[in-house]
Amino acid sequence: MRKAQRERLSDLLPQISIDSLDTLTDPSALFDTPVNAVWLEVGFGGGEHLAAQAQANPDIGFIGCEPFINGVARLVRTVESADIRNIRVYAEDARRLIEALPTRSIERCFILFPDPWPKRRHHRRRIVSPDTLDELARVMADGGQLRLASDHRDYVRWMLFHTLQHGAFEWCARGPEDWRTRPSDWPPTRYEEKAAQRGETSIYLEFIRRARADK
């Protein structure tokens, strides 16, 4: 990263950064104006999807997690140039943030094109895992939406297996068109576009967090 970029990042990031997980007792309080719901993106990369969603949904507060500092810098530039007010950033491991979130506080969660860790011995590093799904099931509101996507066939099967196996999530697909076609309110990501350039097709999985028995 160049010096000027570093200086800009150090000016702007503190304004939107979540530095203390203690402040997460009420995530909607992270935003300057009242929000109707809070949505979470895990591993936003360069932030293209996050920024587009935030612009399309100004009444929603967005939390984006991304430890890759060049990606954070890219998002911060977009936030500044497009004057986006409803994004907060956690520039570390999303799992720590999710653990700190209150129960039923997230209405929608995106995990788009997560690192596939293709070697079997690395599968335990995959972010979509029984442990993460347990935590997401806790923090997501009843009826909340979980959106997953990948161009990596084995990871798609893994995500589907573990999410269905978990029991708290219901897959919304009625037929192949639903997992082959990106919904119109789901902007593309950089990784998805790179995959398309390589001739890979992507799969889009949408789940609903089932209503809990205890109200």
Ligand X SMILES: C[S@@+](CC[C@H](N)C(=O)[O-])C[C@H]1O[C@@H](n2cnc3c(N)ncnc32)[C@H](O)[C@@H]1O
Sites of contact with ligand X (CB under 6 A): 42-45, 65-68, 71, 93-95, 112-115, 127, 189-192
CB atoms inside a 10 Å sphere around CB 124: 9
Catalytic hit among 22, 32, 59, 115:
115
How many CB atoms within 10 Å of residue 29?
13
Please say which residue, 118 or 143, places its beta carbon nearer to ligand X: 118
- Least Å distance, CB 31 to ligand X, is 21
Q: Please, which residue, 39 or 191, has the CB nearer to ligand X?
A: 191
Residue 115 or 170: the one with the smaller Cβ distance to ligand X is: 115
> 160-171 burial, b for 16+ CB within 10 Å, e for fewer?
bebbeebebbee
Angle between helices 3-16 and 69-81 (to 10 degrees): 70
Which is closer to ligand X, CB of 68 or CB of 161?
68
How far apart CA 65 and CA 82 sit, in angstroms, is 20
In the annotation, is 115 catalytic? Answer: yes
Min CB(194)–ligand X separation in Å: 8
Which residue lies nearer to ligand X by CB, 71 or 144?
71
- Sheet containing strand 169-171, strands side by side: 87-90, 60-65, 37-42, 106-112, 140-150, 203-209, 169-171
Q: Which residues are catalytic?
A: 115
